Amino acid sequence: GAVVSQHPSRVICKSGTSVKIECRSLDFQATTMFWYRQFPKQSLMLMATSNEGSKATYEQGVEKDKFLINHASLTLSTLTVTSAHPEDSSFYICSAPRDREPSITYNEQFFGPGTRLTVL
Amino acid sequence: AQSVTQPDIHITVSEGASLELRCNYSYGATPYLFWYVQSPGQGLQLLLKYFSGDTLVQGIKGFEAEFKRSQSSFNLRKPSVHWSDAAEYFCAVGPNAGNNRKLSWGLGTSLAVNP
């Protein structure tokens, strides 16, 4: 159990277009999901916390209007990169902690396989 | 503020040799501690975690880690490295209470394995 999927796994788009990335918890509910960005050979940078039924919480320096997050249900969060530019090219990863876990595993997060975005 | 330090950016070991990857953290209380591995082009896989109890935790793929409160460390070890262990390793810490589930991440250690 505790599988998180992301779709698409890879996407190539033209500059100026918008790209939507989906993150799904396949076998558990996730009120909260996290979106990360990872540059080559670097660590994960938390972009935002996606909250089901409410607005996402963005980390400092992340443009809310550029990276739109919608947590439509307890198993789906989407990240839309609007008007993408080459500098948005990156590896985007989502994660989700399982709801209603015993407190001992409260913080364990399950990661999606990531989405490689290339903006031409 | 919490932080995670992985002092070694890159490590190279020979296959069959032992391995230790270092992780130090700064946190106000005892955090939850994690080690993740990321193979090239792949997502993150949890190797092991520490929440409480025995300070020596066993993980998958023959890895173990020891939590040392006095040193604020959570070093990852493996007695005999395999070529397939070449990957990026990340240490992460998170709060052990409350609704804040954010993890703080180290910068990662890149492991290369020589045949």
Q: What is the pLDDT of residues B31-63, one digit of tens each?
A: 889 999 998 777 788 999 998 889 999 999 999
- B48, B58 Cβ separation under 8 angstroms: yes
Chain A: closest CA distance from residue B44 (Å): 6
Query: Is B69 touching A (CB cutoff 8 A)?
Result: no
CA nearest B59: which of B114, B112, B21, B104?
B21
**Other residues' Cβ atoms within 10 Å of the Cβ of residue B106:** 25
> Hey, are the CB atoms on A112 and B106 less than 8 Å from each other?
no
Measured distance CA(A52)–CA(B76) in Å, rounded: 35
**Best of A43, A108, A116 to mutate (most B CBs within 10 Å, chain B):** A43
> Hey, are the CB atoms on A107 and B106 less than 8 Å from each other?
no
**Where does the pLDDT of residue B97 fall: very low under 50, low under 70, confident under 90, or very high at 90 and above?**
low
Measured distance CA(B102)–CA(B84) in Å, rounded: 30
Q: What is the pLDDT of residues A48-104, one digit of tens each?
A: 999 888 899 999 999 999 999 999 899 999 999 999 999 999 999 999 987 765 555
Measured distance CA(B51)–CA(A9) in Å, rounded: 32
> Hey, are the CB atoms on B43 and A44 less than 8 Å from each other?
no
Chain B: closest CA distance from residue A86 (Å): 19
> Which position has the token pair 């990662």?
B108
pLDDT at res. A86: 95
> Hey, are the CB atoms on A93 and B44 less than 8 Å from each other?
yes
- B30, B53 Cβ separation under 8 angstroms: no
